[in-house]
Amino acid sequence: MQAPDALRHAAARLSGKSETPRLDAELLLACALGMDRGELLVKFHDLAVPDAFAGLVERRAAGEPVAYITGMRDFWTISLHVTPDVLIPRPDTETLLEAAVEYFGKAGPRRILDLGTGSGALLLAALDEWRDATGLGVDSSDAALTIAHGNAERLGMENRARFRLGDWGAGIEERFDLILINPPYISTQAMLPRDVVGHEPHAALFAGSDGLDDYRRIAPQLPGLLEKNGMAAVEIGFDQGQAASALFAAAKLVVHVRPDLAGRDRCLLITA
């Protein structure tokens, strides 16, 4: 079967099982062919479909996220290796980087801290934005740190990004110009799509019955981590602007809520 027919059949197979069946089919075929989607779209009329493609489509039909099947996810200006040991970076999280770019401009921060680094997405994207900066990524998962370190090496940032095992900001004595935090913030009572709850690490998703448990731990640590004239960008759920802001305000921090591109509360901008 040639690529055009295979893509039509795959998109039909994934219809009703994915919100983006055609896109998923294209990404999976590109993976099976060992090329990126852009190259696929240029050449696909002339491509034969490898046998492995059918298996990838069935994995997606069963609910496995595309990023875990292909092992890659684009985020900001970089591409990251991801596995089920780390949360899949999402476009909504880019709101934190947009806020940082607006705050620092081209000059950028000198030192960056990424708490709950996971795949290293926020730290490495920030280091790609500001080439003179260096940073530290912290996570409580050894497996996640292995992924993050590998991404740093693949992107040529191993000399600018350091990673360590830790419990949020505990034990860190340095202060940072920019702090990026995407903590778990989903209520344990929430209903999530099957491809999320069935595959992504629960420790990176859930934070108690109200989704605020990790904010309660982070807020008291933040004043001791933030450099004078620095800024922290913290991701929140769309309905957590008021409740999460109150926790950081109680730590004598100045808090503003920034919406994402859909107009939903998504990020706390925090200064001392």
Q: How many domains does the chain have?
A: 2
pLDDT given at position 147: 98
Q: Would you state the structure tokens that stand for residue 161, as one six-digit string?
A: 């990004």
DSSP 222: G
71 domain-assigned: no
69's tokens:
């099947």
Report the C-alpha gap between 7 and 241 in whole angstroms: 41
Q: How far apart, in whole angstroms, are the C-alpha atoms of residue 272 and residue 254?
A: 6
Q: Give the pLDDT confidence score for residue 46 in this predicted structure.
A: 87
pLDDT band at 82; cut points 50, 70, 90: very high
Domain assignment present for residue 265? The answer is yes
Residues 51 and 87 in one domain: no
Looking at 12, 30, 62, the residue that finishes a domain is 62
Strand-pair partners of 13: none
Strands 226-235 and 134-139: unpaired
Residues 89 and 172 in one domain: yes
Among residues of the chain, what percentage have pLDDT more than 90? 96
Whether 104 and 181 share a structural domain: yes
Do 162 and 40 belong together in one domain? Answer: no
* Distance of alpha carbon 110 from the chain centroid: 22
Mind listing the pLDDT tens digit for each residue in 5-58?
999 999 999 999 999 999 999 999 999 999 999 999 999 888 999 999 999 999
* 194-237 residue pLDDT tens: 899 999 999 999 999 999 999 999 999 999 999 999 999 999 99
Range of the domain at 234: 83-271
pLDDT of residue 113: 98
CATH number for the domain spanning 212: value is 3.40.50.150
Q: Say if residue 102 is in the same domain as residue 52.
A: no
Same domain assignment for residues 50 and 176? no
What is the number of residues in the chain? 272
Mean pLDDT of 228-253: 97
Residue 233 lies in a domain: yes
Q: Determine contact, residues 256/267, Cβ cutoff 8 Å.
A: no
